[in-house]
Amino acid sequence: MFKRIGGIFWALLFLAVPVLGVATFAISPFYDHWLPKDVSTHGAAIDSLFYFILVLTGVVFVVTEFLLFWFMWKYDRNNQEGHATYIQGSHTLEVVWTIIPAATLVFLAIYQMNAWADVKMRRPSMAPTVEVIARQFEWRLRYPGRDGTLGTADDLFVVNDLHLPVDEDVLIQLKSMDVLHSFFLPNLRIKQDAVPGMKIPVWFKAREVGQFDIVCAELCGWGHYKMKGRVTFESRPEFESWLERKYAEQQATQPPAEADVAAE
Amino acid sequence: MTPPTTAVTPAVDHGHAAPHAHGHAQGGLSHFLSTYVFSKDHKVIGLQFLFSTLLWFLVGGLLALAVRWQVAWPWSDVPVLGKLFAQEGGQMSPEFYTMLFTMHASVMIFLVIIPILAGAFGNFLIPLMIGADDMAFPTLNMLSYWFMWPAFICFGASFFVEGGAASGGWTSYPTLSTNPASSPASSMGQTLWLLGLTFVGVSSMLGSVNYMTTIILMRAPGMTMFRLPMTIWGMFITAILQAFALPVLTAAGFMQLSDRMLGTGFFSPEGNVINNAIAGAGGGQPLLWQHLFWFYSHPAVYIMILPAMGMVSDILTVFARKPLFGYRPMVYSIAGIAGLGFIVWGHHMFMSGMNPALGITFMVSTMMIALPSAVKTFNWLGTLWGGRIQFTTAMLFALSFVSMFIIGGLSGIFMAATPVDIFIHDTYFIVAHFHYVLFAGTAMGVFAGIYFWFPKMFGRTMNEFWGKVHFFLTFIFLNGTFFTMHILGAVGFPRRLADAYHYETFHHLQPMNAFMTWCAIGMVATQVIFAANFIYSMFWGPRAGRNPWNANTLEWIAPSPPGHGNFDFQPVVHRGPYEYSVPGVEKDHLMQTDPPNQAAAAAAAAAH
């Protein structure tokens, strides 16, 4: 028994991996160290896929790590007499543990396509609600203004303070002026790189009013960490009155020469 | 420790043995230079790679600590380093932080992991394990090491040029990396980074051509491809990957250099405005770089793990005293990983603006590449099943490779699932994933390899007690550092931010980051034990015989350390590398060179 202490110690150390691993994932949600609140309509599909993969990989993780522990415990040299068993492999086992994971992975691949298509491929047919132009190190926002068309003289410009209507499809046209950035809304499960020279559509629908973070998630230079914006979801009337207020502010602060251009 | 009893030509004509002896007589500087510096002996070159990369490992580790310091306690005075690089009273600037993580990754990937696997272990082990007296092209081999030096100088010097070293991330995405106006450090530092990368590429290419030729042409009599140890299979497939993927990176590197220095616009679109100035003529595409870069750098991920997988497979069999479970499936799965490795690069670009339909293709191929990795893991478990496990330090590191690779492999499935990737892309979830594969996987495999082959390298064994202390602490601290990163990733905590706590979503994560930083400090401190053990054992460790572990492969019939020309007789191979605990044979292993009649005789004796 004394000779076995080494083997037992190492086996238990490896057993700690699945035990503490699962414990970490089980405890974290109770300390708010978990997926942030989701207020989007598509986020539930993403989160449930996350949980599905978590359970699937969790089971594989626990089983394989436990087998590793068990083999270390049982087949410790000091725990047995004679030679090891001479086994070169097993055709049946190879086939089984190739086909089962293959089928699971193919299922997983097909199962998730729809969620991806909803977020990235099935773009709603509508004019952009707002154009987001990323720039070192701020989010420039451009609303179409009263005429509903982007790129005209009555466009409204705002920085870092994105307001959007709740319970409505929103289409963002994402651009970058200089380097790569990434438009990341953790609470809406939205992320899209902004690429110089490209106009990339981003769409979603918020279910709740509230204010949330806009994070830059692609390295964009020394000020990357402070490229922070806020998104506010509010009811349609509130959103429109905010637009009006901002528009009035813009008119009031614009220098006369540009105001003339705007009037044309 | 059976003296091989093969009845073949007793001595090989080493060819270079004579001039070598001659050099002794002359003595002096030229002998020293030709033996230890500009040596063409694969073992010396391997050790040169080993020492250089271990030194850079230290640099990379310290860079990581500085990164961790800032993440845990942003804008607080940095101990020691803050005094050395005092610019703003010991506090780290965001530019400096950006440079730190860029260079941490660049150093670890290009100057540590790739050259330690292919350069150090590949050079040292390939001729020994296939029974050759040296590499096919010894001069090319020497050059492959010396081409690392311009890279060392470029990367090292870049810390001291104006603006500091590269700070565009190790992926060096344009237009941040191509336009100096977009980043204060993206002047000389980035150019040196690109030049350094090119030299690393030349070195790898020279090595890879050499390894392929050597493995194909110089195997000992009887050493068929399917009698090669897994280590050699790992090195062989890695060499193929490098040969086919590297030219693309080299070309892309030159395109980026040309964008920076000649004003071309491969990667910059028209009308780009940086710092309120029009940035070049444009006409290019930033995504082009990402495709070219990942076309190399994804296969490079396998270049950074396949040799370690091979070494671990060999070490597991030696200390489980069992044949490798499923040798052929193991070979095929390495080949499968390599083949699929060329068509999955797009999974780094799911959020890049690449056509989302193309994202689905890459998602499917990425899901499929999990399969050979799973097969390998099951076969490692099968190898332990029914074994007679001996818990040496090398074995513990090899076992931890398996345990940690399971975590790194499974977390990859989250990122491969495109919808989930929308949330966790560029968060700490990916940081956890690749550190589990590259540190908890490859680096553990490298440690296993060092403890295992140290007797062959230096003729002495490392101290087992301190080896186990080193293993235990590394294992604890690495999990403390990296496992928690999954949780940060689940909150969406983005990587590469100098200070994320001003975001409402992330403000409460500082205590967890502080815990991780303490673990990281512990992990780096633990390596002092390793360094001391390594240096002490090199000179004063107990002498090892030819075959201290009773292993089967060819390197163990050579003297420890092997002289010039490796073997004192021509090895002839009679069987595969994993004949442990063969029924009816008294001793529990049959070396590849043990003649078949001996085995048969032993079997007959046992039957009576």
Length reported for chain A: 264
CB–CB of B389 and A93 under 8 A? no
Residue in B381, B411, B419 nearest the CB of A115: B419
Give the residue-averaged pLDDT of B339-350. Answer: 95
pLDDT of residue B382 exceeding 50, the answer is yes
Phi and psi at residue A180, in whole multiples of 5°?
Answer: -70, 140
Contacts of B296 (CB under 8 A, 6+ apart): B245, B246, B248, B249, B252
How far apart CA A195 and CA A177 sit, in angstroms, is 8
Phi and psi at residue B427, in whole multiples of 5°?
Answer: -110, 180
How far apart CA A83 and CA B580 sit, in angstroms, is 9
Task: Count Cβ atoms below 10 Å from residue B242 Cβ, excluding itself.
Answer: 25
CB–CB of B388 and A80 under 8 A? yes
- Does A191 lie at the interface with B, CB-CB under 8 angstroms? yes
Q: Enumerate the residues of chain B whose CB falls inside 8 A of the CB of residue A113.
A: 360, 363
At A197 the pLDDT is: 93
Per-residue burial over B329-338, b = 16 or more CB atoms within 10 Å of its CB, e = otherwise: bbbebbbbbb
Kindly list the structural domains of chain A, giving each domain's residue range(s) and its CATH number in brackets, ordered by start: 2-77+90-121 (no CATH), 130-263 (2.60.40.420)
Determine the CATH number of domain B305-544. 1.20.210.10
Secondary structure (DSSP) of B216-238: HH-PPTT--GGGS-HHHHHHHHH
Shortest Cα–Cα distance, A203 to chain B (Å): 13
Greatest Cα pair distance in chain B: 91
Shortest Cα–Cα distance, B102 to chain A (Å): 11
In the A/B pair of chains, how many CB contacts fall below 8 A?
A: 331
CB–CB of B176 and A179 under 8 A? yes
Q: Enumerate the residues of chain A whose CB falls inside 8 A of the CB of residue B436.
A: none
Do B501 and B510 contact (CB within 8 A), yes or no? yes
At B10 the pLDDT is: 38
CB–CB of A89 and B500 under 8 A? no
Summarised one tens digit per residue, pLDDT across range B185-236 is: 667 899 999 999 999 999 999 999 999 999 999 999 999 999 999 999 999 9
Shortest Cα–Cα distance, A2 to chain B (Å): 15
CB–CB of B580 and A84 under 8 A? yes
Residue in A75, A88, A217 nearest the CB of B426: A217
Q: Which CATH superfamily is domain B39-268 in?
A: Cytochrome c oxidase-like, subunit I domain (1.20.210.10)
> What is the end-to-end Cα distance of chain A in Å, rounded?
94
Q: Enumerate the residues of chain A whose CB falls inside 8 A of the CB of residue B394.
A: none
How far apart CA B40 and CA B579 sit, in angstroms, is 33
Residue with tokens 């499960």: A189
CB–CB of A90 and B382 under 8 A? yes
Summarised one tens digit per residue, pLDDT across range B50-78 is: 999 999 999 999 999 999 999 999 988 87
Residue in B413, B509, B581 nearest the CB of A84: B581
At B585 the pLDDT is: 86
* Among chain B residues, CA nearest to A22: B483
Shortest Cα–Cα distance, A248 to chain B (Å): 27
pLDDT band, very low/low/confident/very high, at B85 (cuts 50, 70, 90): low
Give the pairing type, strands A169-176 and A130-135: parallel
* Among chain B residues, CA nearest to A52: B414
* Among chain B residues, CA nearest to A119: B419
pTM for the complete prediction? 0.93
Q: Enumerate the residues of chain A whose CB falls inside 8 A of the CB of residue B500.
A: 225
Residue in B168, B175, B381 nearest the CB of A178: B175
Q: What's the per-residue H, E or C state across B356-403?
A: HHHHHHHHHHHHHHHHHHHHHHHHHHHHHCCCCECCCHHHHHHHHHHH
How far apart CA B179 and CA B53 sit, in angstroms, is 31
- Does A86 lie at the interface with B, CB-CB under 8 angstroms? yes
**Helical (H) or strand (E) element with A233:** strand A229-234
Residues in chain A with pLDDT values less than 50: 257-264
At B606 the pLDDT is: 55
Do A153 and A250 contact (CB within 8 A), yes or no? no
- ipTM comes to 0.94
Shortest Cα–Cα distance, A237 to chain B (Å): 27
Angle at A241 between CA A236 and CA A243, to 5 degrees: 95
Q: Enumerate the residues of chain A whose CB falls inside 8 A of the CB of residue B352.
A: 193, 195
The chain-wide mean pLDDT, for chain B, equals 91
Answer whether B39-268 and B305-544 agree in fold: yes
**Amino acid letter, residue A206:** A
At B17 the pLDDT is: 40
Cα-Cα-Cα-Cα dihedral of B53, B55, B59, B64, to 10°? 60
Please report, for residues A127, A176, B220, B489, B600, the alpha-carbon distance to residue B427 in angstroms, rounded to integers and kept in the order given. 31, 21, 49, 5, 59
Please report, for residues B40, B44, B549, the alpha-carbon distance to residue B51 in angstroms, rounded to integers and kept in the order given. 17, 10, 24
Cα-Cα-Cα-Cα dihedral of B247, A181, B367, B357, to 10°? -90
At B91 the pLDDT is: 78
* Among chain A residues, CA nearest to B513: A33
For the record, the structure tokens of B387 come out as 């074994």
Residue B543, SS3 per DSSP: strand
* Among chain A residues, CA nearest to B386: A85
CB–CB of A57 and B413 under 8 A? yes
Q: Measuring CA to CA, which residue among B322, B605, B317, B396 is closest to residue A83? A: B322
pLDDT of residue B173 exceeding 90, the answer is yes
Domain boundaries, given as residue ranges, for chain B: 39-268, 305-544
CB–CB of B414 and A50 under 8 A? yes
Of B407, B423, B483, which to mutate for an interface test with A (greatest number of A Cβ within 10 Å)? B423
CB–CB of B503 and A228 under 8 A? yes
Q: Which residue has the higher pLDDT, B353 or B89?
A: B353
CA B391 to chain centre: 24
Q: What percent of chain B has pLDDT over 70?
A: 91
Summarised one tens digit per residue, pLDDT across range B265-278 is: 999 998 888 877 77
pLDDT band, very low/low/confident/very high, at B263 (cuts 50, 70, 90): confident
CB–CB of B418 and A72 under 8 A? no
Residue A158 pairs in a beta bridge with A141
